[in-house]
A and B are shown apart, each in its own frame.
Chain A
Amino acid sequence: MRTRRRTKRFLLVATVAAWALALAGCTAGGSAPSGSGDEVTLTFLVSETPNLTPKYWDDAIARASEKVPGVTIKKVVGENTPAYAQQLFASGQAPDIFAAGIANGLAQKGMLAEYTRDELKKAGVTDFTSGTINGKFYGVATGAQAIPVVYYNKALFAKAGIDAAPKTYAELVADCAKLKAAGIAPFEIGGGGKDTWATVFALVSAVSADVLTVDPDWFLKRTKGEVKFTDPAFVAAAKKVQDLARNGYGDKDAMTRSYADLEQAFLGGKAAMYPMGSWFAAAADKAKRTDIGVFGWPSDTGRQAFPTVSGAGMNVNAKSKNVELAKKWSLAFATDKQNRDLGVLTDGDIVTVKDYQLPDKVGAVYQETVRAYDAAVASGATVPAWANITGDGALPPGFSELMTAANVDLLTGKKTPEQFAQYLDQQYAAAQK
């Protein structure tokens, strides 16, 4: 009797084990790439955000694939950070094409394929300064973003008795005082938890306006040690930021809001000004707002800084099974008119591809952004968005997070501008080791 029960139990265990091992081979959701004939299958890594939905990617991929025959694209989803890309390379799972720019660190090790200037020019690229690494091109720069510019609520401005955007820094401070007097929080700057990156925008703006409009190559020089954060120009910009916070010109509750909450707060009129990347224009237009304007953070002398960065995404794996085809597809994807249009409408991209015409249904806020951009280009006030650029002149890896944390201390007064600058110099040196 005992034997029979034992045999039955053994059979049960064996069946379960067999089933388990059989299933262990396959995963759900991971479709094996099905290439037919001489179709090459390439993997394409994208990251999904509230603006860039799965459907957006699928449609964009389909359009590019139509232009380049012989390629089947398999979309994979992940983070668009260099750290994640490093992990993918280490585990041997690096895709053929990366949607976002992750070249820094990987290009120098020869893991990414190079684009030639001709290739880029033929595809219509006009931006040859973004994302270069040691002067070489590893990505396709087609859409610029301004990170950050200052969006402002015209209605709230009017309520405080301000009739136009400030042209000099002195006017900006005066406007802040007027807003505060009218009971309106002047700036919406904050971001808590994993969104702390949003807290640095005042600092980025001030430095762009005061340091970079005078010397656009400042950060390139910093990588070579020719300038330091403790130089008077930088410290003065940091002091401006601290003064703004000390006078209570920020929104008290903003420091722990998530990015989504931050956006909601500004759109809901909780503050008058919102230094943010130009992608915000897409969100504002989605909410059909016509009372939001934009200006570049002004320097003392009235130069309105417009820090720009071109993603230089579409990096190609040097060990891809077909580098030429991957590059061809990438160029098609990046310059496809409809993709660019969608980039404009969903993410507020400022397109730099040759002969590009804006789609008809762009919103008011986006149009204002583009107008401000064109004016900045005309007056030579576009500077590199030093906190976001990758490639030559970029901040060393890991430094940005430390700067963000230190910036919070600057805002709360825990560090003086001099201490802040010293800390940055220390951490910069450590990160460069």
Chain B
Amino acid sequence: MTTNAGSNRRFGAGRAGPARTLTALVLTALFIYPIYLVILNAFKTQEDIYRYPGLPTMPLTWRNFVDVVTRPDGLLWTGLINSVQITVVGTLLSTVIAAMMAHYMVRSTGWFAKSLWVVIPLGLMIPPATTLLPLLRMMRDFGLIGSVFGLIVLYVAGSLPFGVLVFTGFLRTIPKELEEAAAMDGAGPIRTFWSIVFPLLRPAGASVVIFVAVGLWNDFITPLIILGPANGSTVTVGMYRQISEHVSNYGAVFAYMVLATIPILVLFVFLQKYFVKGLLSGAAKG
């Protein structure tokens, strides 16, 4: 196989012509216009937002950002810390457990593995509102309510179906022979997994990480209810509060939105090159 179909000539026929570039720019501008408005309006005062919602006005101000950042109850900061913590731990745990479970499901032939194949996809189809109250009662009985630990554990369970879906697709492209050879050499299953399989799973892992992380970061219903009002909140819960609180001050709302979205965007930029490959292989053989 020549080197062309993969690494260096990654994209189509090479460089783009001026017509294509222009079309692309125009389409993107149209598509992203609402976001541009949000960012723009985050820099305007309230009256300017009402008078000229679509245009840039001259007195661009940092006022909204300052207000949000210096709120007396520190809503943005406590929210950020909680969100980062929950998202990082939840995503890592979720990815690892999903990968291991996917490995089991793909490589084993017993009845347990087969039943998992049936049961796991169900998780994707359940409307969260239904299971809310029974879940609450169960978590309360186990003492998990109001704790970050409880929230993380709930998230891991909930994101399993998606992770398993992506990983099983990808794992099927990794030849069994690789692991069998290691087994012949006397390596245990855990060692095989960590040193051989997991590194190969990197692209799939990156895609699971980004999608799960986005999901955890943006979810506000679950932390609102599980963590409860007394135990701090995540950055998205804070945004929800900001929206209902400052409904007339859109500048502050938009500023909060911008600040709350930056971390997850940074993560995406980092992982971009990995997970594009990951989605591809997962889909191709999934």
A interface with B by C-beta (< 8 Å): 6, 16, 20-21, 23-30, 43, 45, 48-50, 53-55, 74, 76-78, 87-88, 90-93, 95, 258-260, 263-264
Contact = CB atoms under 8 A, between A and B. Distances in A.
Contacts of A74: 230
A6 B194 CA distance: 9
A50 B82 CA distance: 25
Contact of B230 (A26, A50, A87, A95): A95
B230 A91 contact: no
Given A20-B88, A93-B145, 12 more contacts: A20-B85, A20-B89, A27-B148, A45-B229, A49-B245, A78-B229, A90-B140, A91-B136, A91-B228, A92-B140, A93-B229, A264-B248
B149 interface: yes
Contacts of B85: 20, 23-24, 27-28
Contact of A28 (B50, B77, B228): B77
A264 B78 contact: no
A24 B144 CA distance: 12
A76 B136 contact: no
Q: Chain B: interface secondary structure? A: helix
A91 B225 contact: yes
B23 interface: no
A32 B96 CA distance: 32
A74 B232 CA distance: 12
Contacts of A53: 245
Nearest to A16: B92
Contact of A25 (B148, B224, B227, B248): B148
A183 to B, nearest CB: 22
A28 B81 contact: yes
B181 to A, nearest CB: 16
B149 A25 contact: yes
Contacts of B140: 90-92
B226 A91 contact: yes
Interface size classification for chain B: 35 or more
B136 to A, nearest CB: 4
A45 B228 CA distance: 11
Contacts of A29: 74, 78-79, 81-82, 231-233
Interface string B120-140: 000000000000110011011
B81 to A, nearest CB: 4
Nearest to B248: A260
Contacts of A91: 136-137, 139-140, 145, 225-226, 228
A19 to B, nearest CB: 9
B177 interface: no
A263 B50 CA distance: 13
B247 interface: yes
Contact of A49 (B78, B132, B133, B244): B244
Given A87-B136, A91-B139, A95-B230, A23 B145 contact: no
A31 to B, nearest CB: 8
Contact of B246 (A16, A25, A50): A50
Contacts of A23: 85, 89, 148
Nearest to A91: B136
B273 interface: no
A397 to B, nearest CB: 15
B241 interface: yes
Contacts of A28: 77-78, 81-82, 85, 232
B145 A264 contact: no
A93 B82 contact: no
Contacts of A20: 85, 88-89, 92
B152 interface: yes
Contacts of A27: 78, 82, 85, 148, 227, 231-232
Nearest to A263: B248
14 contacts: A6-B195, A24-B89, A28-B85, A29-B79, A45-B229, A49-B244, A50-B248, A74-B230, A76-B229, A77-B241, A87-B225, A91-B136, A91-B145, A258-B247
Nearest to A46: B229
B72 interface: yes
B231 A30 contact: yes
Interface in B34-79: 50, 72-74, 77-79
Contacts of B132: 87
Contacts of A16: 92
Contacts of B249: 50
B146 interface: yes
Contacts of A6: 194-195
A263 B82 CA distance: 35
Nearest to B250: A260
A8 to B, nearest CB: 13
A93 B245 contact: no
